[in-house]
Amino acid sequence: MVTGGGRGIGKMLTIGLLEAGAKVYISSRKQADLDTAVTELSPLGDISAFAADLGTTDGVQALADHITEREHAVHALFNNAGANWGAPLEEFPDTAWDRVMNLNVKGVFSLTRTLLPLLRAASKPEDPARVVNIGSIDGIRAPAPGLNNFSYSASKAAVHLLTQQLATTLAPDILVNAIAPGLFESKMTAGILALGQDKITSQIPLKRIGRPDDMAGIAVFLAGPHSTYITGAVIPVDGGIAAGR
């Protein structure tokens, strides 16, 4: 299960999992995005979609019910759906703060909790079920001055700590890890990339933004057989930004 799987990083995760042979369910708020993704990615493998707003209790339950009606077990849940908001501190609205926190943090917690029966049903001693939360490099170090994404960076730091607490709580049956992406091409990063890739990549040790294969690779690794001794980790996939902070 990949939330926010219709575009951006979620789509990159989905492609990697499909190419590795997984059956994948994706979700997002917008049916049009899901329809486009399913049409494009169906040649890669078994993919289906369900529209739900995971920033709401009803949306979380609707998605969980949809999966439960179709599957007796879920091997891996990728909590990727997220929102961002930017505004000067003095103008930052409470409604935007709540929207970001409800989806980015509460939604991760609520969907994981609701799908625990299916995750436990998939878990085996030699191959535990997986939860992979998508955090951010902005949850590891403070964003650059002027980005003004106060709720986003705070929410991703919360996701990282939530990952660690869930990992200890759910061990040994379920492995819980987080990916902290750096700069990848998506709707959310379009404003930053509009400043010019040369200017942006000069600040990244590896001198480039992330590629889809970079995200696909870590997704397959964390869902696959070679990561069974890793839990509670927050893994930067950022071209070296965290190391150079």
Token pair 């997220």: residue: 82
Beta-strand pair 174-181/129-134: parallel
Tell whether pTM > 0.85. yes
Selected from 3.30.70.270, 3.40.640.10, 3.40.50.720, 3.90.550.10, the CATH number assigned to the domain covering 2-237 reads 3.40.50.720
Catalytic residue positions, numbered: 152
Instruction: Assign 109 a pLDDT band (cuts: 50, 70, 90).
Output: very high
Which residue in 4, 24, 242 sits closest to 142, CA to CA?
Answer: 242
- Among 9-23, 117-131, 193-207, 220-234, the minimum mean pLDDT is found in 193-207
pLDDT tens-digit series, residues 31-51: 999 999 999 999 999 999 999
What would the 3-class secondary structure string for 83-137 be?
Answer: CCCCCCHHHCCHHHHHHHHHHHHHHHHHHHHHCHHHHHHHCECCECEEEEEECCH
Half-sphere exposure of 203 (CA within 13 A, CB side): 13
Asked whether 18 and 2 are in contact (CB, 8 A), the reply is: no
pLDDT tens-digit series, residues 199-230: 778 788 898 988 999 999 999 999 999 999 99
Which residue in 134, 136, 127 sits closest to 112, CA to CA?
Answer: 134
